[in-house]
Amino acid sequence: MAPERLIFAPQLPTFAEHLARLAVADLFLDGMPYGAHTTASDALWAGLPLLTCRGKSFGSRVAASLLTALEMQELIAETEKDFEAMALRLAREPQLLAALRAKLAEKKRSAPLFDTARTTRAIETAYALMMEKTQPESFAVP
């Protein structure tokens, strides 16, 4: 990659500006062995496709969990070699990257991951169910 294509940007004063800047990038390459957490979520929320390599530790699996929640497992590599191959493929096939960006936009509207109201209702239901229990036991939130 030509060095002039790399942009190191300063911190921005607002979260909205941060998200807007993420949205203009082509692809988020999640680092290894400790991947992105909140920044991965921010990138996906901004509509930026994210490529990650599923690791073995919690810190290396967060982005894969986010992508799984969005049903976008095609952006999860299992090996570093697969990660590199997919990154190169996405760089060379802009139509594939555009299709992933479109899929992400649709998933952002329909997947539970970014449905705050739905998550709030589920947590409130869980709290209510916990209050009904007299003994510690597992339960499922309907």
The domain segmentation of the chain, as residue ranges, is 11-110, 115-142
Q: Per-residue pLDDT tens for 29-50? A: 998 888 899 999 999 999 999 9
CA distances from 14 to 21, 39, 116 (A): 11, 14, 21
Residue 39 to residue 56: CA distance in whole angstroms: 20
pLDDT confidence of residue 55: 87
Class of 11-110 in CATH = alpha beta
Q: Per-residue pLDDT tens for 53-77? A: 998 888 889 999 999 999 999 999 9
pTM, rounded to two decimals: 0.81
8 A C-beta contact, residue 108 and residue 47: yes
